[in-house]
Structure 1
Amino acid sequence: MGIPHFLAVPYPILGHMNPLLQFCLVLAIYGCKITFLSSDETYSKLKSASAGHGKVMESFIKLVSLPDGVDPEDDRKDQANVIFTTINTMRAKLPKLIEDLNALDSDNKVSCIIVTKNMGWALDVGRQLGIKGALFWPASATSLASFNSIHRLVDEGTINSENGLPTQNHQIQLSSHLPLMEASAMPWYCLDNAFFFLHMKQEMKILNLGEWWLCNTTFGLESGAFSTSPKLLPIGPLIAHEHNTISSLGKEDTTCLEWLDQQPPRSVIYVSFGSMVSLKPNQFKELALALDLLERPFIWIVRKGNGLEENNEYPHEFKGSQGKIVGWAPQKKILCHPATACFISHCGWNSTMEGVFYGVPFLCWPFCSDQLMNKTYICDVWKVGLGFHKDENGLILREEIKKKVEQILGDEEIKGRSSKLKEMVIKSKAQGDENLNKFINWAKE
């Protein structure tokens, strides 16, 4: 048989597309053929990202797209509608796309479909066509283990079958090898959203069609998760291959790097909440005034133009003179910069892996999904970060932000543990590469 031909099918949001794209570039460097499927809506972002990187991406990866069926007037923040519409529209069109791809290169037909969460239906399409399938999970192995435990937890009576809420005990232990966690840290416990829980309950049945569950993590970071399923395969840290890849699909403001070069070592507070979450106006104000109170240099990512931070106005008393505020930035370059001191993060898995890989201490500000579980690891298991306390209205006040930033900047033990964890993760690349070869060889069979 020829080289493996992978068809990558990510759920079309940045938090899924970015990591799967990075993984596909690594597979391409290993000599595999890659076709990357996006929605028509995100195709232009992919094209402009590849154009901005000297065509490096398109020389490795063939980009194709299908409509996702979401009308221009529909609200893309309505995840339930977007998920159902995408599944129903793309599913019907995928067999023809595969047929066309195979006709173009009959010696290297699609041999394996790789999906992310919400796209398990493509594994079913592949199975009907006799094509192997694998899941690429853009979050932690522990969060995948938790979703895979839903049916067992329901059967045991630990959680409610309709909404995933705990029936009695507010702590859950997914296995004897995993830490005890608050029920609220389970990734389906997102804003009490029953839709997401019921969707994932069904989705896990179909994701089990994938023979491998590939995770951008290392055995050492969350060893307990790997005892929960033989399908789980740690292939991280993918970031260790970064010199070969593009950095992001978002439009980055690189002026902050020149500004960083002028700051003292370990002095800059980096604040970013990823591509999906945003602060409410009163919380935005508290954070702005906390950054003033600290009187330290900072880089703050405030996204504009996508409806997420549009309503947030800087308080009139906000000076911001110590810092640099940008719409989107090259995060990995900021985290590995010697001037960066700490990372105020939403604790999404991509950000968590990047912060850990560069040895940067965290201040954890999770919002929902797997972010609360990641915070448990950062603060309680690895002990490389601190959380914030909210007041009775659920606000993190400026004084609390100031106090925690100063605490972590002065904590030599956390800095030491961050450096040790960094060394451990870098050393794990050898095992990740071994697992990657194992996966590629399986796809060739």
Structure 2
Amino acid sequence: MAAPRVLVLPYPAQGHVIPMMELSHRLVEHGVKVTFVNTELNHGLIHGALAARDGKLGGIDMASVPDGLGCGEDRKDLARLTESFSKVMPGELKKLIGGINAGERGGERIGWLIADVNMAWAFPVAKKLGLRVAGFCPSAAATFATRFKIPEMISGGVLDEEGWPRWRGTFQLAPAMPTIDTSEFSWNRAGDAKGQPIIFQLILRNNAATHLAETIVCNSIQELEPGAFTLFPSVLPIGPLSSDKPVGSFWAEDASCPAWLDAQPANSVVYVASGSFAAYDAAQLVELAEGLLLTSRPFLWVVRPGSAGEKLFEQLRRRAAPRGRMVSWCQQQRVLAHPSVACFVSHCGWNSTMEAVRSGVPLLCWPYFTDQFLNQSYVCDVWGTGLKLPLPPPPPAADGTGLVGRDIVRGKIEELLCDDEIKARALALRILARRAGGDGGSSRQNLRRFLDLVRGQGVSC
């Protein structure tokens, strides 16, 4: 039997590309041929980062389609990006699949589409072309459940028909799930309020198409989110996903981090990273730098390209030395697994959260947008593996500064590092994650079921 070939389609953002690339490596390791589809811009970024580090993707083929935006347009405006790719990408994806299966690009025909559930509009495109369909959830299962339960929240008076909360307070979808403030639903915290209707309508369209998927797999752990998986028992948790191969980073990773970490005492380093989207002004970056210095601990701080001007970056880098080290990007899984790392000051993206779980690292939570507030609730209120950083209220209630001050940064880091119970719970989750991914573990068994399905050796889940 010929090896099956699948097309993998992530939402066009770094935090979605990475786990789907990790899943793709698993597929390739088990004899599945993968064509990974990025937008043209992200395709170029990944190839540029690979070239800078002389890396290869380990057997994954790459393809690209346009997102409809022009060169230089703001792709961090999620509403604008969503509106554009929703119009352009369905037709482009159809052409790509048609060209491959007509033999224009060579190789075997594509039999499966594995798409991000945030790109479920692609499911009917694939079905019309005769492909089988699976969904991938790169977020917490609780995020998937919350979005899928929107009709019930509307009928129950939590939301209005446009997705805005009808009242202010905390909301819990089911027992054992995290509570979230009604002002912090992911679709209401994805950028400018004017763009919220576009994001909300995309979620509704994706929800309506999800039934076309034969199965949905999730980068989570059954035992980590029992409440969410009780609501959706057919969703297969296969996390935490990881890989020692390149995972589609948009920026070249600094290769000097491991050696620097090796030179630090065990359980001493404060690791700071805010993902691929979070943006802070110069004054906030200065306060963060000064707060880190006040801890008198070594720190490794990732300030990604474009998030600070060259002059400011150099000023911060010089101020951090000699105790602290600033880099523009790093191999985060390797950093978090290093024995010198004591805690992680994080934006609470789900990838980062799962990587911290996998490594047993406590978190100081600094959420920025979308699902990161729900993830913070898991960390601080459900698992007890971190602390919340007190954030200034959003405008117009802000006090005029809108800054997290240096003394707050120092105080919360010291509080976190002095809490032995938090550290013990973080280490317990590391054991849980390793059991889930080990022989006979829940995630290992679910991954095997999924692989058997894609390879034609199993039935729909």
Q: TM-score, normalised by structure 2?
A: 0.88
Structure 2 partner of 1:389? 390
CA distance in 2, matches of 1:316, 1:334: 21
The structure-2 alpha-carbon separation of the partners of 1:160 and 1:54, relative to structure 1 and needing over 3 Å to count, comes to same
Helix, strand or coil at the partner of 1:338: coil
1:442 to 450, 453, 456: 453
Asked whether the 8 Å contact 1:147–1:200 carries over to 2, the reply is yes
Selected match of 1:414 from 400, 413, 422? 422
Q: How does 1:320-339 map to 2 (within 5 A)?
A: 320-321=320-321, 322-339=323-340
Match of 1:153 in 2: 153
Does 2:228 align with 1:229? Answer: no
Note the alpha carbon deviations across 1:83-137, whole angstroms, 9 max, x for none. 2222322211222321222233999422211112442221110111221112211
1:419-430 superposed matches below 5 A = 419-429=427-437, 430=441
Q: Which amino acid aligns with 2:453?
A: W
Per mean C-alpha deviation after superposition, the further-off stretch among 59-68 and 355-364 is 59-68
Alignment of 1:303-342 (within 5 A): 303-304=304-305, 306=306, 308-310=307-309, 313=312, 319-321=319-321, 322-342=323-343
Shift of 1:9: 1.1
Residue 123 of structure 1: aligned partner: 123
Where structure 2 has 5 or more consecutive residues not aligned to the other structure, the ranges are: 393-397, 457-461
Amino acid at match of 1:194: Q
Distance 1:116 1:435, change over 3 A: same
Mapped contact 1:341–1:361 kept (Cα < 8 A)? yes
Tell me if 1:267 matches 2:268. yes
Secondary structure of the corresponding residue to residue 295 of structure 1: coil
Q: 1:106–1:324: structure 2 CA closer, same or farther, 3 Å change rule?
A: closer
CA RMSD of aligned residues (A): 2.4
- Tell me the distance in 1 between the aligned counterparts of 2:151 and 2:84: 26
Q: 1:101 to 1:265 in 2, by over 3 A?
A: same
Task: Tell me, in whole angstroms, the C-alpha distance in 2 between the residues paired with 1:66 and 1:316.
Answer: 38
Q: Which residue of 2 aligns with 1:379?
A: 380
CA distance in 2, matches of 1:18, 1:317: 27
- How far 1:201 sits from its partner (Å)? 2.5
Amino acid at match of 1:422: R
- Separation in 1, partners of 2:6, 2:317: 54
- Aligned position for 2:24: 24
2-structure distance, mates of 1:406, 1:76 = 37
Cross-structure match for 1:278: 279
Q: After the TM superposition, which residues 202-221 of structure 1 pair with which residues of structure 2 at under 5 Å, given as runs?
A: 202-221=205-224
Once the two structures are TM-superposed, the CA of residue 424 in structure 1 deviates from its matched residue by 0.6
- Checking the alignment, whether the CA contact within 8 Å between 1:226 and 1:232 is kept in structure 2 is yes
Q: CA deviation at 1:366?
A: 0.5
Q: CA deviation at 1:245?
A: 5.2
Give yes or no for contact 1:247–1:330 (8 Å, CA) kept in 2. no
SS of 1:109's equivalent? Answer: coil
Is the CA contact (8 Å cut-off) linking 1:212 and 1:231 kept in structure 2?
yes
Distance change (3 Å), C-alpha of 1:24 and 1:316: closer
1:111 aligns with: 111
Residues 44-85 of structure 1 deviation map (CA, whole Å, 9 limit, x = unaligned): 23334555676642x521211222221114222232222222
1:236 maps to a residue whose letter is: G
1:284 to partner: Cα distance: 1.7
1:180 shift after superposition: 3.4
**Structure 1 residue 369, shift from structure 2 partner:** 0.6
* Counterpart AA for 1:401: V
| Higher mean C-alpha deviation, range 389-398 or range 276-285 | 389-398
Q: Which amino acid aligns with 1:133?
A: V
- Are 2:149 and 1:144 aligned? no
In 2, are the aligned partners of 1:188 and 1:197 still within 8 Å (CA)?
Answer: yes
How many Å separate the matches in 2 of 1:230 and 1:5? 27
Q: 1:179 to 1:257 in 2, by over 3 A?
A: closer
Name whichever of 205-214 and 127-136 sits farther off: 205-214
SS in 1 for 2:278: coil
Structure 1 residues 266, 437: closer, same or farther in 2, change over 3 A?
A: same
Superposition map of 1:70-109 within 5 A: 70-104=69-103, 108-109=108-109
Q: Are the counterparts in 1 of residues 345 and 364 from structure 2 also a CA contact under 8 Å?
A: yes
Partner of 2:8 in structure 1? 8
The Cα offsets for residues 345-372 of structure 1, whole Å up to 9 and x where unpaired, read as 0000000011110111110000111100
The answer for the alignment partner of 1:399 in structure 2 is 407
SS of the equivalent of 2:63 reads strand
Asked if the contact 1:215–1:232 (Cα under 8 Å) also holds between the matched residues in 2, the reply is: yes
Percent of aligned pairs with the same residue? 35
3-state SS of 1:60 partner: coil
Report the Cα distance in structure 1 between the residues aligned to 2:254 and 2:290, rounded to whole angstroms. Answer: 23
Quick one: structure 1 residues 40 and 247, their matched pair in 2 at CA, closer, same or farther if it must change by over 3 Å?
closer
Partner of 2:459: none
Aligned to 2:395: none
> Compared with structure 1, are the counterparts of its residues 67 and 156 closer, same or farther at alpha carbon in structure 2 (3 Å cutoff)?
same
Deviation at 1:417, TM superposition (A): 0.9
CA distance in 2, matches of 1:118, 1:368: 16
Unaligned runs of 5+ in 1: none
Between stretches 286-295 and 196-205, larger displacement belongs to 196-205
Deviations 1:192-225 (A, max 9, x none): 4523223322322123322322111100111111
Quote how far apart the aligned CAs of 1:329 are.
1.2
State the alpha-carbon separation in 1 of the partners of residues 247 and 180 from structure 2.
Answer: 36
The CA distance in 1 between the partners of 2:432 and 2:85, in whole Å, is 39
Q: Which amino acid aligns with 2:419?
A: D
Q: How far, CA to CA, are the matches of 1:426 and 1:82 in structure 2?
A: 37
Q: Distance in 2 between matches of 1:48 and 1:317?
A: 24
Q: Matched residue of 1:270: which SS?
A: strand
